[in-house]
A and B are shown apart, each in its own frame.
Chain A
């Protein structure tokens, strides 16, 4: 059986862990740069606050209504996500981390064969409740649990658990009778892996619900769409085609891009920002033990401006590298060439492309490649920053006064990752 554990309104719930006064209250979390609403607690959703609504439009209304607003605090979310995942390991050794707030578990047979189907079903439901309760006790994170014989059905079970109040956050779809009941009531665009583009095309074939898709001819669907949709049909009918991806595959590209706090027409702050993004991307690159052979630089102006102007450039590195200093220097020069005087930029980004495994490097006949000394230096830099906190040591090119840095007017303390921001307990 597959089990999908999904954290409810994850970012908003994270903000409530150390703030019991905010539990069961309207809470919203904003995107980078405090632009949009990216997470809403159940109470905030009930008030009609929409996903991705612009902060600017409803800020004063939210303040009047006593909605608590937070800037995103990824240090906190990352830590709490890891805690939820590690607690799940109590239930299964086979876990796939699907995203920051969703994990698949593979559950071995829960009951012995002499039990009746109803008993097995009940025990699965109890087991799901046990998982939900344990996660909340250990981490204060509310989750929904879906259990079913395939990953696609586990997703549906989880969605049902969230929508149907009677489920109390746990959905088990273990018989075809149950999953047909849910499929009849699920529009195709809510199925895992069916995009809105696909659902529009399915509508042309008179397929509107998950049940209609499940009952359609897989071979015909494959001709119209692709093998993935065919697999979805099999999965909807209880035949597992997708297995757990327990070992995450290393990323093939690493991007880091962010909006500035305010538009800028100046080159130096953009260069500093680019250097910081290079540093972040290189950290991720080294963490997954890859090297990059080329680099992409991106510059954006605001899309509502008349001289809307995006530009990007890909630069080949002299040899595959994970050296922040080398890549940062090349990036700064590249930005200088891309930059147009008089244009107000709002966002910049870097991408590390052509990644390869660091352990298996093709040697260059004309260049010795990255030196061992550089490897050692980068290891030391990463160690210092893990130990003493981000930006304890950084390349001077990032700039000392980061005026362009993100707007984060409502950030909560990093309760679990900074000594001077620990939660305070009244004694």
Chain B
């Protein structure tokens, strides 16, 4: 999925001096390389529901999820809870998963619960104009 737009020279050079700006041309910016460090382990997903609005994740937002990094305390993670992919905040101190919405009760992590951490939400994208 990598794509680079290469700019060679912006000016034709009939004679004389080339544009001094030509020496300073950068590669076009690529959001893929900026946002995604582990492409093989990163997946895109769609948020459904309002339990994470306190973190700025709204219904319909795009989630960028990296499976390869170890989830840290306080990070927004994707967990499979009873077989369903769910977005929560990891609270390692209290050993639970919390929502960013007071109407939802935290879920305790115990060795008996059917709960697997699937990845860390590294970015979320809001569409202010629909693509």
Chain A residues engaging chain B, CB cutoff 8 angstroms:
18-23, 82-84, 86-87, 137-140, 415-416, 419, 422-427
Task: Establish whether residues A20 and B48, one from each chain, have CB atoms under 8 Å apart when the complex forms.
Answer: no
Residues of A within 8 A of B57 (CB): 427
Residues of B within 8 A of A139 (CB): 40-41, 67
Whole-angstrom distance between the alpha carbons of A426 and B57 in the complex? 11
Instruction: Identify which of residues 46-69 in chain B touch chain A, using a CB-to-CB cut-off of 8 Å.
Output: 46-52, 57, 59, 62-63, 67-68
Q: A137-B68, A140-B67 are in contact. Are A423 and B45 (CB under 8 A)?
A: yes
Task: Establish whether residues B48 and A427, one from each chain, have CB atoms under 8 Å apart when the complex forms.
Answer: yes
Task: Establish whether residues B68 and A423, one from each chain, have CB atoms under 8 Å apart when the complex forms.
Answer: no
Q: A140-B118, A425-B45, A427-B51 are in contact. Are A20 and B40 (CB under 8 A)?
A: no
Task: Establish whether residues B47 and A422, one from each chain, have CB atoms under 8 Å apart when the complex forms.
Answer: no
Q: Cβ of B35 < 8 Å from any Cβ of A? A: no
Known: A20-B116, A423-B85, A427-B86. 8 other contacts (CB 8 A): A87-B41, A138-B40, A138-B41, A138-B68, A425-B47, A426-B49, A426-B51, A426-B87
Task: Establish whether residues A422 and B46, one from each chain, have CB atoms under 8 Å apart when the complex forms.
Answer: yes
Residues of A within 8 A of B46 (CB): 422-425
Q: With a 10 A CB-CB cut-off, give which of B48, B83, B116 has the most chain A CB atoms.
A: B83
Task: Establish whether residues B40 and A83, one from each chain, have CB atoms under 8 Å apart when the complex forms.
Answer: yes
Nearest B-chain residue to A421, judged by Cβ: B46
* B43 touches which of A21, A87, A416, A424 (Cβ 8 Å): A416
Q: Cβ of B96 < 8 Å from any Cβ of A? A: no
Q: Cβ of B123 < 8 Å from any Cβ of A? A: no
Chain B residues engaging chain A, CB cutoff 8 angstroms:
38-41, 43-52, 57, 59, 62-63, 67-68, 78, 80, 82-87, 99, 116, 118, 131
* B59 touches which of A19, A83, A415, A427 (Cβ 8 Å): A427
* A425 touches which of B40, B48, B50, B82 (Cβ 8 Å): B48
Whole-angstrom distance between the alpha carbons of A231 and B85 in the complex? 49
Task: Establish whether residues B67 and A137, one from each chain, have CB atoms under 8 Å apart when the complex forms.
Answer: yes
Whole-angstrom distance between the alpha carbons of A86 and B36 in the complex? 14
Whole-angstrom distance between the alpha carbons of A137 and B120 in the complex? 12
Nearest B-chain residue to A416, judged by Cβ: B43
Residues of B within 8 A of A427 (CB): 47-52, 57, 59, 86-87, 99
Nearest A-chain residue to B57, judged by Cβ: A427
Q: A139-B41, A423-B46 are in contact. Are A20 and B80 (CB under 8 A)?
A: yes
Residues of B within 8 A of A419 (CB): 131
* B38 touches which of A138, A140, A415, A425 (Cβ 8 Å): A138
Q: From residue A392, how far is it (CB to closest CB) to chain B in Å?
A: 16
